Amino acid sequence: MFKFTFYKRIQLSFLLLIFIPLIAVSIISFVLIRNTMEEKLQLSNENVLNVMTDELSKTIDDVTFASHFIVNDTNVRNILKSFADTKRLATYQDYVHFRQIQDVFSLINSKPLNNNVRMYLVNRQHFVISSGTEDLTSINSSLDKLMERVDLSKPETLQWLGMAGGDSAGNGKSYYIARVIYDSREKRQVSVLLSAISDTYFNKLLGTIDFGKVALFDANGEFIAGHSGLIPHHTETKGSVRTDRTILKSNWKLAYEASEKEWSGQISRTFYTGLAGVLLLFLVFSGMSVLMAKRLHSPIHKLQRVVRQFGMGNLDVRLEVKGKDDIAELGQTLNTMLDQLQRLIHDIEQEQEQKRVMELEALFMQIRPHFLINTLNSIKCSLILTKDTLHSGIIDSLMSLLRAYLKVNEPATLREECKLLGHYVDIMKIRNEIPLQLEIDLDPETEGLILPKLILQPIVENAIVHGLVDHQTPRIEIRSRSSLDGIRIEIANNGTGPDEEQLRCLNRRLGKPSEEQDGAYERVGLMNVVQRLRLTFGPEASLTLANLPHGGMSVTLYLPLSHHHGFLPEGEEE
């Protein structure tokens, strides 16, 4: 099967570059011979005028789009209505409206609007706001004459005002287009939008022709720009060809006229220049095509060979980079990519080996907790046989906590959490030798609330360690209440709490988002509780500390209803 390689494409490209100019000149010569000079000129005139007509139509469309945007946007109309009678920026509100209008202009300019088109909003007091940053002296000097041309009884239609402005020599003029922004409730205008097209734009556009004369007239036949010797009416003199074009939406007329001497000389020069160019290209490209094609294809062939060897398993193969062109940069990038692939393959191999070792270690670690539970269960049975109910109960509580630690990533209900807290308190009573009492008062509607496992244990542990160890009658109360906006769980104790300054500091740190936490904060247990709550119930979940009026301290957990995971029915186990 025929393979269209890159090398063959390069060769074909050079051949096309050789034959296309030859074929093009041959066709042009054939057309020039077949058609009359006047027909050829008419075609040239049509092309030139089409380009100019499209550009003028685009500019008119830009002006029309911008005016439609300002007139039909309700917010803009409200701003203009508030700014309608402003004579100067006397108040802050005037400045706000001024900036809002400038922001609208900035949005329109980002379309982008033609750089030679400027827009001005003129309110009822003739206060002018420009779409650019130019000096307003020119527009202000001719504003009164322009406003006299505006028909305020024709709202929301484009009005073609003609040329205005400029210096005494006639330079710097602009063609103005007006649109009245009308308030139907007040039955009068809110503002007048003036769009100015600079004569620089017209002169630059009409000056692109190589021969002939071109001029632009408005709908009333008034001269706008171009050659002043042309007249708006179509009159074709002997020895010349004239073509007129009408610009849509504006009824402007673009006139183009060329004499016989101009077009005949231009056509002759074009023919001989094209023929000489074809001969020169044929000689140059015929001699260089083969050499350049081979030289361009050589580095690509090397790239192909390196990639093929790397794919076959030779991971150490690299491309020898020479020079600083695009192919050399591509080769350097390829070498970098191959280095990264080699490192990635090595990392994957190491990762797989480490994963295998970790899986073996995980299987081994799973044996230890179950060994401890089985051992504790044997001790418990021995204590029961010796009728030592106290220590057998402690062993039972310890086994319950150990099972909970093994399933710490599984959720639990509030009822189950409080049951675990009972086991934890039994162990702490023996460990610290304190007569600790635990009282639980749960709202029946909240008992099935699903919580992260062991979420309350760090709070109870802090209460015992920091406030109840030396207390004569230590007591911890756990209460839960449901409200319309969420659920509150309060853990209160009758121990010693921090002073008010420390309490405010603690609450401030606990109220910070997780990413703003201080790494040196010592209350890791409470911070862990806050972070787990927010991960489960959303950023609105909170933990708040407070001192009780009659002594002791309380910790309140707020869980918003909009983010909780749900409830388990009464009596149903997970």
Q: Which tens digits make up the pLDDT trace of 323-338?
A: 776 777 777 787 888 8
Return the H-helix or E-strand segment holding 481: strand 475-482
pLDDT(243) > 60: yes
Please say whether the beta carbons of 205 and 56 come within 8 A. yes
> Nearest Cα to 498, choosing from 507, 509, 489?
507
CB 24: neighbour CB atoms within 10 A? 13
Per-residue confidence (pLDDT) for residue 194, from 0 to 100: 86
Decide if pLDDT at 223 tops 80: yes
How would you list the strands of the sheet with 240-247, edge to edge? 223-226, 213-217, 252-259, 240-247
Query: How long, in residues, is the chain?
Result: 574
DSSP string, 484-548: SSEEEEEEEESS----HHHHHHHHHHHTS-GGG--TT-S-HHHHHHHHHHHHHH-TT-EEEEEE-
Does residue 188 carry a pLDDT above 60? Answer: yes
User: Is the pLDDT confidence value at 364 over 70?
Assistant: no
pLDDT tier at 378, thresholds 50, 70, 90: low
> Residue 554 region, left (φ>0) first, then alpha (ψ -120 to 50), else beta?
beta
pLDDT at 248: 78
Residue 528, amino acid? N
Question: What crossing angle do the helices spanning 389-406 and 326-385 adopt, rounded to 10°?
Answer: 160
With beta carbons less than 8 A apart as the criterion, state whether 156 and 192 touch.
Answer: no
**Spatial CA neighbour of 40 closest among 271, 213, 246:** 271
| Distances 79 to 85, 108, 182, 194, 235 between C-alpha atoms, Å | 12, 16, 13, 17, 51
**In the structure, what pLDDT confidence band is assigned to residue 565 with cuts at 50, 70 and 90?**
low
What pLDDT is recorded for position 367?
43
388 phi/psi in degrees, rounded to 5:
-95, 80
Q: What is the DSSP letter of 87?
A: -
Q: What's the CA gap between 206 and 214, in Å, rounded?
A: 7
| 395 contacts 380 by C-beta, under 8 angstroms | yes
Taking residues 306-322, what's their average pLDDT? 77
Query: In the predicted model, is pLDDT for residue 519 greater than 50?
Result: no
- The pLDDT, as a whole number, for residue 490 is 93
Contacts of 222 (CB under 8 A, 6+ apart): 162, 163
d(CA 98, CA 193): 15
Is residue 10 within 8 Å of residue 297, measured between CB atoms? yes
Query: Residue 24 — φ and ψ, nearest 5°?
Result: -65, -45
How far apart CA 128 and CA 143 sit, in angstroms, is 9
Query: Where does the pLDDT of residue 300 fall: very low under 50, low under 70, confident under 90, or very high at 90 and above?
Result: confident
CA-CA distance, 73 to 79, in Å (whole number)?
10
Tell me what pLDDT residue 479 has.
92
pLDDT, one tens digit per residue, over 439-491 is 999 888 888 888 888 888 888 888 888 877 777 788 899 999 988 888 999 99
Question: In one letter, which amino acid is 239?
Answer: G
Q: Is there a contact between 441 and 478 (Cβ–Cβ < 8 Å)?
A: yes
pLDDT at 520: 41
Contact call for residues 518 and 480 (beta carbons, < 8 A): no
- What is the average pLDDT value for the chain, to the nearest integer? 77
**Average pLDDT of the segment spanning 183-209:** 82
Q: Is the peptide bond before 112 cis (omega within 30 degrees of 0)?
A: yes
Domains and CATH numbers, the chain: 73-202 (3.30.450), 407-560 (3.30.565.10)
Residue 92 predicted with pLDDT over 60: yes
- Helical pair 37-72 and 260-311, crossing angle rounded to 10 deg: 70
Residue that has been written with the tokens 């909170």 in this structure:
542
User: How confident is the model at residue 488, as a pLDDT?
Assistant: 92
CA distance 54 to 555: 75
Higher-confidence residue of 122 and 371: namely 122
pLDDT at 418 over 50: yes
251: left (phi over 0), alpha (psi -120 to 50) or beta: left
- pLDDT band at 495; cut points 50, 70, 90: confident
What is the structure's pLDDT at 514? 58
pLDDT of 534 strictly over 80: yes
Name the token pair of 22: 């030859």
Helix %, strand %, coil % of the chain (to 5): 55, 20, 30
DSSP structure string for 308-349: HHHHTT-TT------SSSHHHHHHHHHHHHHHHHHHHHHHHH
> pTM here?
0.41
Contact yes or no for 238/46 (Cβ under 8 A)? no
Both ends of the chain: CA-CA distance in Å? Answer: 67
Provide DSSP, 213-247: EEEEE-TTS-EEEE-TT--SS----TTEEEEEEEE
pLDDT of residue 548: 87
What does the pLDDT read at residue 556? 92
d(CA 62, CA 423): 79
Where does the pLDDT of residue 49 fall: very low under 50, low under 70, confident under 90, or very high at 90 and above? confident
Angle at 540 between CA 538 and CA 542, to 5 degrees: 105
For residues 260 and 292, the answer to whether their CB atoms sit within 8 Å is no
Classify residue 2 by its DSSP letter.
-
Number of C-beta neighbours around residue 522 at 10 A: 8
For position 491, what pLDDT does the model report?
Answer: 92
**Is 60 exceeded by the pLDDT of residue 279?**
yes
pLDDT band at residue 147 using 50, 70 and 90 as cut-offs = confident
State the CB neighbour count (10 A cutoff) for residue 452.
Answer: 19
- Which CB contacts under 8 angstroms, 24+ apart, belong to 396-405? 396/423, 397/422, 397/423, 397/424, 397/426, 397/427, 398/423, 398/427, 399/373, 401/427, 402/369, 402/372, 402/373, 402/376, 403/373, 404/453, 404/454, 405/454
Give pLDDT, residue 290: 66
Nearest to 116 by CA among 72, 167, 169, 56: 56
- As a whole-number percent, the residues of the chain with pLDDT over 90 amount to 3
Mean pLDDT of 134-163: 82
3 state SS of 35: coil
Is the pLDDT at 515 greater than 60? The verdict is no
